[in-house]
Every structure is written in C-alpha cells, then in structure tokens.
Amino acid sequence: MDKFKGTDDYVISQELRDNVNVSIALGRPLLVKGEPGTGKTLLAHSIAKGLGKKFFIWNIKSTTKAREGLYVYDTVQRLNDARFGDNDVSDIKQYIKLGKLGEAFAAEEQVVLLIDEVDKAELEFPNDLLNELDEMSFYIPETGVTVKAQHRPIVIITSNSEKELPDPFLRRCVFHYIAFPEQELMEEIVIVHFPDIEKKLLRECLKKFYWIREFDMLRKKPSTSELVDWIQALRAGGVPVKKIESEIPFLGTLLKKKEDIDLVQKSGKTHYSFNSSMRSRDVY
Amino acid sequence: MFINFFYSLKSYGVPVSLHEWITLHRALEKNLNDCSLTKFYNIAKSILVKNEIFFDKYDMAFLDTFKDIETTDEMLDEILKGLKKVKELHLNEEEKKQIEELNLDQILKNFEEQLKQGHYKNHVGGNKAIGTGGRSTQGAWGYNPAGIRIGQGESRHKRAVQIAEKRSFRNYSSDITLDTRQMKVALSHLRSLLPIGYGERLNLEETIDKTCKNAGELEFVWENKEKKASKVILLMDVGGSMTPYSELVERLFSAASSQISKFKHYYFHNCLYQDLWTDMERNKSVSTLEFLKSEDNDYKVILVGDAEMAPSELTWANGAIDYWYYNDTPGIVWFQRIKDKFKNSIWLNPLPSKSWNYVQTIRSIRSIFPMFELTLDGLDEGVKYLVNGKCSIYNI
C-alpha cells in the first residue's frame, strides 16, 4: 500500500499525514476543512505528487450537478448531427462524455481526485454522490455500460463550510480540520517558499503578521497566501528590516478591505509597544 | 473493549454513528494507529468527528475514557532511540547464540528486574535492559507488555491525553456565545434562508416556435427558473446591557445583507414602542405603525435582545426607560402586533437559556416569540425554524 510521506514544497503536520494515510488505507474520501488559505487544495496536489499518481480536479460551482461529474450526454450535439448526417447518430457512445469523477473511475491505475469546494453546490449535491463514492462505480443507462473503478481513487474533498454537509455523506468520510498554523510551522512554510530568506526579516514579518491576525474585529483575517505575497512584495521592494519594525509597508497585500486597513492603521500608531489592551480598546 | 468511549462521546453530544464506530475498528484492525495512543487519538477524531465544533467535546469524552490509561508512547520513542544504539554494537557469534537461546520468560524476567532497579530511568540502564530484548527476535515484542508497566514515567512528549487536556478547540465549540471567528460560520447558516440554486431549463414551446420561424434551423430557448429571494428584517436592542453585543450582531447581519436580497434593520432600546430607530444613536425613526402597514408580511423577522428589563417597561403605558419618551401603548402589545403581522419571526438572546426562566420579562416575551440563544446552535436552530417552522431543541 502507498504511504504518503509529504513533499518538499508542502509542509504538513504529522496529524494530517496520518489522516491522509488512514483515508487511503480505508478507501474513504478525506474531507478537509479549514480557514481559507491554509492549503486545503494544495494538499491534494501534494499527495498526487508525493505518490506519483495522476491527478484529477473537479471544481464545484453553485450550478454544478452531481451527474455532471459522472458523465454528460450531449443531446444537442446529437440532434445537430442528425440534421446534417455528419456522424452515425445511432452510436450514442460518442455523445457520452465522462466527467471528472467518471474519468477517475475509468482510469487504468489508481489516481488522486480532488473535489474542490464541495459546499459551493446545492444542499443535496453530496447526497447524490453517496452511492458512487461508496461503490466507486456508476451506470450509464443510455449505453448500458457500468463504469467501475479498478483501483479505488484517493479522493480528497475540500469545504469552506459555507453550507452544512449532509450527515450520511459525512459518515462516509474521514475528516480533518486544518487549524491555522502556529508560528513555528508558519516559519517552515515560508522557508519552503523563500529558501534564502533572512532569519531576521522572517521573524519580523511573522511577528507583524500574527499581531495583525489577533485583531478581533477584522472582516477578513490575512491568511498564509497573503503572508507569502506580502513577503514577496517586501523583498521585491527591497524594504529594509528596520522599516518593518517601525511600520507595515504594503499593508494592502495583507488586508483586502478598507475598514480593516483603517483599523490596523489607526492602532498602528501605537503598536510599537504591542500592547494588546490598547488594541481591544480601539476596537470596542 | 472501549465501547464506553462511544457512549461517552454520545453523552457529550457528539453525533457519532455505528457506521463510523465500525470504520474506526476497521482502521484499528489494520493497525493504522501503530499501537500508539496519540495516533489513536488522531485517527479516532478524524473518523468519528466530522465538524470542528465537536472537537472540544471529543477531547472531553476522550479524557473521561482514557485519562487513567498509561501509554507507552514516550517509552516507545525512548526505547526506539535505545535500540538504534544497540544496533551499532558488534556481537560475536557466541553472544549471538546466547541471545537466541533466551526465551520469552527470561526476557520478561530480565525486564522486570531492570525495571525494579529503576534502570529505565537513565539512558545507560535503559539501553541495556531493552537492548537485551532488542537484539533477540522477541525484542520488539518485549517492550510492549513492559511498556504498560513503565508508562508512569513523566512525559515530555505530547501524549494523547495531554493533547486532549489542552482542549485547544474550545473556541470552536458551538454552545459558547458567538465571537468574531464564528461569525463566518454563523453566516453560512443564514444562507440557508436564501434560494438554493436554480437551474436552466429548455423552454420547449418557445424553442419550437423559434425554430419554425428560423426555417427549421434549430434555435434553443433556455429559461431560468424563477429565483426566490428571501426577505429579512432585523430588529435590534441597543444600549444598556446590549452594548457589548450590538456591534457584533450588527456586523454579522450587515455582512449578511449583501447576500439577502431584501434586508432591513431597525433599532430599539430595551423594549419596542411606536417608533423604530433607523440608526444606533436613536436620532432618526420611523413609525412602528407605518412600518407594520407598509411592509409585506412574508418578511422573516429576527429580533435580537436580552429581553431583560423592568416589567413596567414591557407592560405599562408610559413605561419606557427613557423618561422623555411617552408611550401610550405598552411594549408587549407592540411585540404582539409584530408577531401577528410577521408569522415567521424569532428572538435571539445573547443570555444563556439557563437564565431565561428567572427573568420575568423574558418569560413574557417567550410567550410571544420563539426564543433562541445567540450561539451557533441557537442561530442554526432559529434559522431552521424560520425556514420550516420546526424546532427540536427548545420547547416552543
């Protein structure tokens, strides 16, 4: 059995690694939740890369129907073809197009399938896939073919908890909640992105970053990806470490809402002391 | 074996099913937990608990069941370290033979002796004791039963029980009053008030019509199913005891307002009379009567307040808390009028439901509006109640 050990470009906690391996061993989908920007989607990429497997992504939108993931029967094309006699329209097979889930099932070897942001779709969407994910097979009535996975794909499902997922669906998953990384883990993550970063710059950036994150009233807290962008901007702009100690340059890369920027800047005037009581007084 | 863990989880309110319990045993059968309690803690969590709001309850249930268990985790680590050192030892043939001759009983006996002497406490002794086992084929087996006895050592590594004891997920628990972090989650509950998806449909008649006009050239007409919008009115108690909550609640709902197509909000202080304020400072107002007349009755109304006031404020004419304010109709009548007009209305209360029975005005208001706690659970139930008129946790 394949064991996922992680990859160089993705820092992973021991707990998550164990859970990935549990889900692989049990053949159950792994449901990953967590704050935006904690690397839910990247996890699937990393698994595919680490195990050297083919990778399929099924991006879910609010209009996505469960059946689209299995197959689409292109009736309009067939109707059009029938009018001009271009193709043999009695051969329905050529109008059946497998969806991402279908492709993953039909693959010759074991693959990694990412179902991204499953909560975007309708409430009933996950329920419609229960049987397919359990059996890893489905039936196409138009052609009378059953597509069955020879090797159960490794399924990773991400959710931003915009909607509650139905219980029967949850029962079949292995669940992992990615907590926001602690400062130590964050250091590792940043170093993966910038291997040659100065220790001093890194420490100063993280100090500021976690300081900003502690504001209770932020509408959108900065996440890992924003931190990486910010450090990129600082390095590109050649900002000296001294300057970061006394102010926060390029605040716009960390905070995306005007109210948030105002809030931080307002209390930023007194922030050298890192006085937390000051911050909460400003806020309430 | 540890079925009481299952019941303990249930009694703490973690929704765990037999299906998941069996899955866990399947995982244990495959030894995915590697005989380690820490890994067991993680694996059981990932299989049994499907929502981070239950992590804290899981921790408590885990503590209840396993707090007295001595784990071999940190011993294992140390032993493995020791074994590595032993590997480098060079053994001659005679020694090897000697070792192979050792049987299980002897090894165990040796172990116990070493343990009694407390050798495991320092590294040299530990290596020796375990090394003896380690060099033989039964070595790997050796430390397991011994480990159970040794486990009382002070732990430096994170043991599962300690992780559970930290209860680092307390903030995610759903029965504490909403804080900012949970706002987003709460918002997601509100979204169930919204229409859920709308599909495209082929309008057959139109298509045939168009195609005919087009001299047989196919032309499809697609139509969208009608999108039903949800309407929400928020009435909020501001000032006094509600001040700490009001900003929080307002932000919550104003964020929601971008998603709910028709969203209105008004303010009142402690109790509601003939005027509804449109700003928090209570400078501008609209007439409540006018409001009741003009708004459609299919709005869903959410009142937020602690409902804690002097009984006179609720039931007397001229009982308003502001001395300059004269009301000829008691507040409770106004509340009843709102309820009569808007059938779908609920009251959210930031006070814990335990205390509701001790406050007279809360009891009066509960007789009019179904009251829910301003927590994730409460909000969730409240929204469900608004949508389908059913509620499971509170007596309504």
Residue B375, domain member (yes or no): yes
Instruction: Indicate yes or no: CB of B188 within 8 angstroms of CB of A123.
Output: no
- Number of domains comprising chain B: 4
Contact residues, chain A to chain B, C-beta under 8 Å: 15, 18-19, 21-23, 25-26, 28, 31, 33, 62-63, 65, 76, 79-80, 83, 121-123, 161-165, 167, 170-177, 179, 216-219, 284
Residues B127 and B167 in one domain: no
Predicted confidence band at B269 (pLDDT cuts at 50, 70, 90)? confident
Give contacts of B 187-216 with A, CB under 8 A: 188-189, 191-192, 196-197, 199
Tokens of B296: 């459609």
Whether B26 and chain A come into contact, CB under 8 Å, resolves to: yes
Q: Which of B121, B180, B190 is nearest to B150 (CA)?
A: B121
Q: Is residue A228 a contact partner of residue A193, using CB atoms and an 8 Å limit?
A: yes
Does B185 touch chain A if contact means CB atoms closer than 8 Å? yes
Q: What is the pLDDT of residues A1-29, one digit of tens each?
A: 567 877 778 888 888 888 999 999 988 99
Q: What per-residue confidence (pLDDT) applies to B110?
A: 66
Say yes or no: A161 and A62 in one domain. Answer: yes
Examine residue B166 and state whether it is found in any structural domain, yes or no. yes
Question: Do B166 and B266 belong together in one domain?
Answer: no
Residue B310 and residue B347 in one domain: yes
User: What range defines the domain where residue B206 resides?
Assistant: 199-228
The helix/strand/coil state of B148 is helix
B139-150 and B104-116 helices, crossing angle to 10° = 40
Residue A61 has pLDDT above 50, yes or no: yes
In this structure, the answer to whether residues A144 and A200 fall within a common structural domain is no
Pair B62, B84 in one domain = no
Average pLDDT for A108-134? 86
Encoded amino acid at B109, one letter = K
pLDDT value of position B33 = 73
Give the torsion through C-alpha atoms of B189, B191, B192, B198, to 10 deg.
-150
Please list every residue in chain B whose beta carbon sits closer than 8 Å to the beta carbon of residue A177.
52, 55
Residue with tokens 């011993």: B75
pLDDT band at B396 (very low <50, low <70, confident <90, very high): very low
In a domain, B188, yes or no: no
Q: Mind listing the pLDDT tens digit for each residue in A239-259?
A: 888 887 777 888 888 888 777
B163-206 pLDDT tens trace: 666 666 655 555 544 554 455 555 555 555 554 444 567 788 88
**Is the pLDDT score of B228 beyond 80?**
no
User: pLDDT of A226-240, one tens digit each?
Assistant: 888 898 888 888 888
Question: What's the pLDDT score for residue A158?
Answer: 92
Domain match, A142 and A187 both? no
- Averaged confidence pLDDT in chain A: 82
If asked whether residues A64 and A162 sit together in one domain, one would say: yes
Contact residues, chain A, for B188 at CB < 8 Å: 161-164
Q: pLDDT category, A111, cuts 50, 70, 90?
A: very high
B-chain residues within 8 Å CB-CB of A172?
19
B259 touches chain A (CB under 8 A): no
B247 shares a domain with B220 = no
Q: Do A163 and B188 touch (CB under 8 A)?
A: yes
Q: Which of B32, B218, B247 is opposite residue A80, by nearest beta carbon?
A: B218
- B29/A contact by beta carbon, under 8 A: no
**For residue B138, what pLDDT band results from cuts at 50, 70 and 90?**
very low
Please give the average per-residue pLDDT across A81-100, as a whole number: 82
B247 Cβ under 8 Å from any chain A Cβ: yes
CA distance B388 to B344: 9
Q: Which domain holds residue A249?
A: 183-279
Q: Using a CB–CB cutoff of 8 Å, tell me whether B39 touches chain A.
A: yes
Burial class (CB within 10 angstroms; exposed 0-12, middle 13-18, buried 19+) of A47: buried
CB A43 within 8 A of CB A17: no
Please answer yes or no on whether A177 and B218 come within 8 Å at the CB atom. Answer: no
- Contacts with B47 from chain A: Cβ below 8 Å: 22, 174-175
Residue of chain A whose Cα is closest to the Cα of B30: A25
Count of CB contacts below 8 A, A vs B? 80
Same-domain status, A191 and A258: yes
Question: Does B262 share its domain with B296?
Answer: yes
Q: Which of B335, B371, B369 is nearest to B353 (CA)?
A: B371
Choosing from A178, A200, A224, the residue where a domain stops is A178
A188 and A170 share a domain? no
- Return phi, psi of residue B71, to 5°: -100, 160
In a domain, A205, yes or no: yes
Q: Which residue spans within A151-280 are E strands per DSSP?
A: 154-159, 174-178
Of A178, A195, A224, which residue is a domain's last?
A: A178
Structure tokens at B310: 């002097």
Give me the pLDDT at residue A112, please: 93
Average pLDDT for residues B334-355, to the nearest whole number? Answer: 86
Contact yes or no for A168/A130 (Cβ under 8 A) = yes
Q: Which residues, 6+ apart, have CB-to-CB distance to A99 below 8 Å?
A: A58, A67, A68, A69, A70, A71, A72
Q: Which of B14, B41, B47, B191 to probe the A interface (max A CBs under 10 A)? A: B47
Could you tell me if residue A4 is inside a domain? Answer: no
Q: Which residues of B touch A219 (CB under 8 A)?
A: 251, 255
| One domain, residues B223 and B366 | no
Same domain, A50 and A187: no
Of B19, B23, B191, the CB nearest to A163: B191
Higher pLDDT, B176 or B339: B339
Q: Two tokens at B340?
A: 């009569």
